[in-house]
Amino acid sequence: MKKIEKAEIITALLEKRYPETECGLLWEGDPYRLLIMAILSAQCTDARVNIVSKTLFARFPTACDMAKAELGDIENEIRSVGLYRSKARALKECCERLVSVYGGILPSEMEELLTLRGVGRKVANLLRGDVFGLGGIVADTHCIRISGRLGLSKGKDPLEVERSLQKLIPTEKQSGFCHRMVLFGREICTARSPKCNECELYEFCVNKDKDKR
């Protein structure tokens, strides 16, 4: 079976398991919120980011508010997310540029997004997919681990995994595919002791039963 056919079947099986998917970050349809929450989510759970964001957005509801904020005030709001000092600086500088260069409106091009402090390819792809419907492979830890186990990508380099999956998953399916990878990675194909005996992708997996502890 060709890799692209395998990817198509895997995508369909994941869609069957998770008919509805949405980002774990509760961004309420506001691109500014998803931008901020995605930056905060590095090495932090979605649940924690959702909690912290409630008071953060009550205090700084727009990019302009965040750009004008005192660094210490941002730090105080996000203290529980970890790496809060560098994240606070990223939020402020990101919003300063968003306001001064883009009038507070999130740009959609990858090259433009990457000029915003705190935005790497993972965040940029998430934004392009969820905000603009432009697709994008979010090569996070779940995506890298599971696509590797399934033989859809090689290695752990996020850019290489992104490039491999770009070729295999149609643009309009990429965001959903990545959100489903997260759900599947939390429920079935966990980092330690994946539940291979419950896995509908078993026959397509090149790593089945290998990572069991």
Beta-carbon contacts of 72 under 8 Å, excluding residues fewer than 6 positions away, are none
Q: N- to C-terminal Cα distance for the chain?
A: 30
Residue whose token pair is 């939390």: 186
Segment contacting ligand SF4 (CB under 6 A): 17-25, 49-57, 114-122, 142-150? 142-150
Is residue 149 within 8 A of residue 211, CB to CB? The reply is yes
By C-beta, is 68 or 212 nearer to ligand SF4?
212
With CB under 6 A as the contact rule, the residue among 7, 124, 181, 196 that binds ligand SF4 is 196
Please pick, among 87, 92, 140, 208, the residue that the annotation labels catalytic.
140
In the structure encoding, which two tokens stand for residue 1, read together? 């079976």
| Spatial CB neighbours of 115, under 8 Å, sequence gap ≥ 6 | 97, 101
Contact criterion met (CB below 8 Å) for 53 and 26: yes
For ligand SF4, give the closer residue by CB, 114 or 206: 206
With beta carbons less than 8 A apart as the criterion, state whether 128 and 110 touch.
Answer: yes
* Rg over CA atoms, the chain: 18
Determine whether 167 is an active site residue: no
Please report whether residue 202 would count as binding ligand SF4 according to CB under 6 A.
yes
- For 161, what's the count of Cα atoms within 13 Å in the CB-facing half-sphere? 25
Q: Candidates 15-23, 101-109, 160-168, 202-210 — which segment interacts with ligand SF4 by CB under 6 A?
A: 202-210
Pick the closer one to ligand SF4 by CB: 79 or 195: 195
- Residue 151 DSSP symbol: T
String of contacts with ligand SF4 for each residue 173-192, x by CB under 6 A: ---------------xx---
Q: Tell whether residue 150 is a contact of ligand SF4 (CB under 6 A).
A: yes
Under 8 Å CB-to-CB from 123, ≥6 apart: which residues? 35, 38, 39, 113
Tell the smallest beta-carbon distance from residue 127 to ligand SF4 (Å): 28
Indicate if 140 belongs to the active site: yes
How many residues bind to ligand SF4 according to rule CB under 6 A?
Answer: 14
Regarding 67 and contact with ligand SF4 (CB under 6 A), the answer is: no
Shortest distance (Å) from residue 180 CB to ligand SF4: 12
The catalytic residues are 122, 140
**Footprint on this chain of ligand SF4 (rule: CB under 6 A):** 146, 149-150, 188-189, 194-196, 199, 201-202, 205, 207-208
